Amino acid sequence: MEGMTVVLFGATGDLAKRKLFPALYNLYVENKMPEVFSVIGLGRTPYTDDVFQTKVEQSLRAFSRSKIQDEGFQQFLSSFRYSTFDATEPTSYEQLNDLIERRERELNLPENRLFYLSVAPSLIDVITSNLATSGVSQTSGWKRLIVEKPFGSDLASARALNEKLRTAFNEDEIYRIDHYLGKPMVQNLETLILVNPVLDSLFNHQLIANVQITASETVGVETRAPYYDKAGAIRDMVQNHLLQLVMMTALHLPKKAHPEEIRTKKMEIMQALRPIQEETLQTDLIRAQYNEGEIFGIDVPAYREEPGVPHSSMNDTYIAARLFIDNEFWEGIPFYIRTGKRLDKKSTRIVFEFKERPTQLEDYHPEGLAPNLLILEISPNESISLQVNMKDPSSNRFEPSTITFTTNLNNQPEAYELLLHDALLGNATFFANWKEVELSWEWIQPLLVAFEENRLPLATYTAGSTGPKEARQLLATDHFNWW
Ligand code: BG6
């Protein structure tokens, strides 16, 4: 890999500390960084290079998945430099340019520059415009831009933001992070059925009754009320992570695909995603907010009592929906998605429920057989499970029994590490491209308007529960349960 410079905007922030410095270090330890590289951290707080390097070291000691090794560690740290930065101030960009160029000369680096924007959304367009006008983003090598979510707060703002980015970067130079696409199991989805003929044979629309995608969290709004109370679960989780999971699940590629084919296929799935219309809004979508409750034996407050949340907030902390993908393969097979904060457990998973076969074995299962399930656990644990029915000799009845496959790999690379590595290599397969982002906002937009106009009641659920009863009813009307 050729040498390069990583320019990190927001280097004093939480993401840099918890995820980005550790990701760079783990890539370095695994020889996935170029032999020579430069990292330039930018933030408002004035630091010297020494203080910045100490901060990086502290972050690695606290958050790196691989242990700090003596060998090469000082050399790794010595690649870091810092520049105090005010995003609206032209002189900040001049200083940045000087620093980047000086380091490129010192280290004999080609002008390959990766700009990582881990900053407040309001600063993204200011920074990109300034990068272009100041000349920082004009290089004789390659340039790439990584942007964090949220990518806009509705369709219009996402389009406006994209136009701004495009003044300084081409689409193939923009890497929009959706960290769910960095989760190893999600990255596996594309090839899982190719390498497992058994799973491939299950991936058959005549066998699948429904698909369920769950992203449940136990945490509440934490300290993010100013952002979250405006975003809600619909923007925070559904528009990006859940719709990306829907696209990745529905892919069904017959052979190893080129990144471009994957993108086209994902786009086609988004285009085939049936819009939730006025008539189906009440029946196909549930929005809810948590009440006080108990999680792991600890009392937790209602959303409206959380610090910074207005007492009258009508924001959603939970969304469930019934979706249909109108293409040949998925015709008539519902996708149920749900996500919420302050639920009973932390789990992201995809479950395929299979159709029942009429049997002549009613004696063995008077209440009905449990369905066969294929369960892909994405995080925090990763596994593939199959639920089948086995006869219990003592009761002479068929009971569900689950077999689970895990890789037994501890210490797996984290999402940010995989994604950063892909960006260093120029592989954008697991980043959200503009068309996907735009189509997901187009799909979400009418829902935002309906929420705004209070056309959908806001249900409630007890913190620590599995969610609102309305979400159970959503599946009950189709004679299914959530898994
Ligand atoms: C983030 C959301 O994008 O994803 C958070 O902003 C959420 O609200 C987080 O908690 C969940 O990510 P993960 O990887 O813990 O499932």
Q: How far does residue 313's CA lie from ligand 1's centre (Å)?
A: 21
Amino acid 408 reads N
Pocket test of ligand 1: the residue of 18, 241, 377, 414 to mutate, having most ligand atoms within 8 Å of its CB, is: 241
**What is the Cα–Cα distance from 348 to 346, expressed in whole angstroms?**
7
Strand ranges, E, within 196-265: 208-216
Long-range contacts, 130-139 (Cβ 8 Å, 24+): 130/87, 130/90, 130/93, 131/93, 131/168, 132/167, 132/168, 134/90, 134/93, 134/94, 134/96, 134/97, 135/97, 136/7, 136/93, 136/96, 136/97, 136/100, 137/113, 137/168, 137/169, 139/111, 139/112, 139/113
What phi, psi does 43 have (nearest 5°)? -165, 170
At CA 447, angle to CA 268 and CA 454, rounded to 5?
175
148 lines ligand 1 (CB under 6 A): no
Q: What is the pLDDT of residue 193?
A: 84
Q: How far does residue 69's CA lie from ligand 1's centre (Å)?
A: 30
Pocket test of ligand 1: the residue of 217, 338, 347, 416 to mutate, having most ligand atoms within 8 Å of its CB, is: 217
Strand ranges, E, within 54-159: 80-84, 113-117, 143-147
Q: What is the pLDDT of residue 138?
A: 92
Atom of ligand 1 nearest to the CA of 240: 3
Residue 147, beta-bridge partner list: 117, 176
Atom of ligand 1 nearest to the CA of 415: 14
Q: What is the pLDDT of residue 71?
A: 87
Q: How far does residue 341's CA lie from ligand 1's centre (Å)?
A: 10
Amino acid 237 reads M
57 lines ligand 1 (CB under 6 A): no
Q: How far does residue 342's CA lie from ligand 1's centre (Å)?
A: 12
Q: Which residues contact 107 (CB under 8 A, 6 or more apart)?
A: 3, 36, 37, 38
414 lines ligand 1 (CB under 6 A): no
Q: How far does residue 2's CA lie from ligand 1's centre (Å)?
A: 33
**Token digits of residue 146:** 């990584």
348 lines ligand 1 (CB under 6 A): yes
Whole-model pTM?
0.94
Q: What is the set of active-site residues?
A: 241
Whose alpha carbon is nearest atom 2 of ligand 1?
A: 236
Q: What is the pLDDT of residue 365?
A: 64
Atom of ligand 1 nearest to the CA of 348: 16
236 lines ligand 1 (CB under 6 A): yes
Q: Which residues contact 393 (CB under 8 A, 6 or more apart)?
A: none
**What is the Cα–Cα distance from 37 to 3, expressed in whole angstroms?**
5
Q: How far does residue 158's CA lie from ligand 1's centre (Å)?
A: 20
Whose alpha carbon is nearest atom 14 of ligand 1?
A: 180
Atom of ligand 1 nearest to the CA of 228: 8
**Cβ(440)–Cβ(433) under 8 Å?**
no
**Cβ(147)–Cβ(174) under 8 Å?**
yes
User: Which residue is associated with the tokens 């044979």?
Assistant: 201
Q: What is the pLDDT of residue 70?
A: 86
Distances (CA, A) of 84 to 8, 55, 100, 107, 410: 12, 15, 13, 22, 38
Q: What is the pLDDT of residue 118?
A: 94
Q: What is the pLDDT of residue 234?
A: 98
Whose alpha carbon is nearest atom 6 of ligand 1?
A: 236
Pocket test of ligand 1: the residue of 148, 151, 153, 179 to mutate, having most ligand atoms within 8 Å of its CB, is: 179
217 lines ligand 1 (CB under 6 A): yes
178 lines ligand 1 (CB under 6 A): no
Strand ranges, E, within 10-101: 37-43, 80-84
Walk along the chain (483 residues) in steps of 10 and give the mean pLDDT of each run. 96 95 97 97 96 97 92 95 96 96 97 95 91 92 95 95 93 95 89 87 93 98 94 97 97 80 94 94 96 96 97 97 97 97 97 85 70 95 93 86 83 90 95 96 97 95 98 96 97
Strand ranges, E, within 143-243: 143-147, 174-176, 208-216
Q: How far does residue 240's CA lie from ligand 1's centre (Å)?
A: 11
